[in-house]
């Protein structure tokens, strides 16, 4: 398995699939998952001649379980090291949920020199937390309950999330996939407790507003209008307006995990955007 040794000695696991000479598309995963959560999109695009790259964020998946550095600045610094090492250029950057924040902050901090387009899928920007200036956000008590649930029984909490709101399996008439639930649980439990715990603050309290305003490439925003984890009113709708070249596609009835549930539609949207 390929690993990159980072500046602090941590090992970053990554996948580099498909045509080594093909156009590059990178993927950033959500909380508390790993690059495995993107396997349907990666296989689909690699099978069509693209070079697809995804990493396990530090503390997640197969990467080193560092005690500190579980924050957005460190995460995007890791990405820049990876992209430099792999020679990423003229590429498309894709991120889901927390990974959408990673994409946004990377482009805000390092600029768009390596990338020509980006895609945000059910992404957390501009700000998840409810504040005096962000009335559509989620109250801090919700994120406090996440942390408390982890402390009380992380294994059960990481079963409750995919069984319910993450995939929308708690909605009437939903077709529940036991496989999706088990995969989510396995990925989550492979993430270090400290990284998963710290990342709750990172994805909920990081304000990406200025990053969004400074991204000078086309950005496709894909969001389900029944996203129970990152409600579209506080995220996708706002991000599309803040982005200078933002384009929004709403998935009617779509959950937080549209790339895992609406697989064919998301795959085709990514391919169409890449080809445009």
Distance CA 129, CA 16 (A): 34
Three-state DSSP at 19 gives coil
Q: Which of 132, 86, 75, 82 is nearest to 108 (CA)?
A: 75
Q: Which of 222, 40, 210, 239 is nearest to 136 (CA)?
A: 239
Q: Find the catalytic residue in 28, 34, 97, 235.
A: 97
List all residues 6 or more positions away from 85 whose beta carbon is below 8 Å from its beta carbon.
Answer: 4
What is the β-pairing status of strands 219-224 and 246-251? parallel
* In contact, 188 and 33? CB cutoff 8 Å: yes
Residue 225 annotated in active site: no
Residue 97 annotated in active site: yes
**Which residues are bridge partners to 220 per DSSP?**
119, 247
DSSP state letter for 138: B
* In contact, 88 and 106? CB cutoff 8 Å: no
Q: Find the catalytic residue in 227, 235, 255, 259.
A: 227
Three-state DSSP at 12 gives strand
Distance CA 42, CA 160 (A): 27
Residue 98 annotated in active site: no
Task: Quote the distance between the C-alpha of residue 265 and its chain's center.
Answer: 18
Q: How many CB atoms neighbour CB 272 within 10 A?
A: 10
Distance CA 206, CA 187 (A): 23
Q: Active-site residues: which are they?
A: 97, 227, 256
């Amino acid at each position: 398995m390929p690993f990159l040794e980072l500046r602090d000695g941590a090992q970053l696991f990554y996948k580099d699939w498909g045509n080594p000479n093909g156009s590059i598309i990178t993927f950033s995963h959500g909380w508390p998952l790993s690059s495995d959560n993107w396997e349907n999109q990666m296989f689909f695009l690699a099978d069509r001649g693209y070079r697809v790259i995804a990493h396990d964020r530090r503390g997640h998946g197969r990467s080193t379980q560092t005690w500190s550095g579980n924050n957005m600045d460190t995460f995007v610094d890791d990405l820049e090291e990876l992209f430099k090492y792999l020679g990423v250029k003229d590429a498309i950057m894709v991120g889901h949920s927390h990974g959408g924040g990673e994409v946004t902050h990377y482009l805000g901090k390092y600029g768009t020199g390596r990338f020509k387009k980006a895609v945000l899928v059910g992404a957390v920007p501009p700000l998840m937390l409810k504040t005096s200036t962000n009335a559509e956000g989620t109250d801090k008590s919700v994120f406090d309950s996440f942390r408390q649930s982890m402390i009380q029984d992380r294994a059960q909490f990481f079963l409750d999330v995919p069984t319910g709101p993450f995939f929308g399996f708690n909605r009437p008439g939903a077709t529940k996939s036991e496989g999706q639930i088990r995969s989510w649980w396995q990925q989550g439990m492979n993430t270090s407790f400290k990284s998963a715990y710290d990342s709750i603050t990172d994805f909920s309290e990081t304000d990406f507003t200025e990053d969004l305003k400074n991204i000078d490439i086309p950005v496709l925003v894909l969001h389900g209008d029944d996203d129970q984890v990152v409600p579209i009113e506080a995220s996708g709708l706002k991000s599309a307006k803040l982005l200078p070249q933002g384009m929004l596609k709403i998935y009617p009835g779509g959950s937080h995990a549209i790339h895992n549930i609406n697989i064919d539609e998301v795959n085709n949207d990514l391919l169409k955007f890449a080809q445009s």
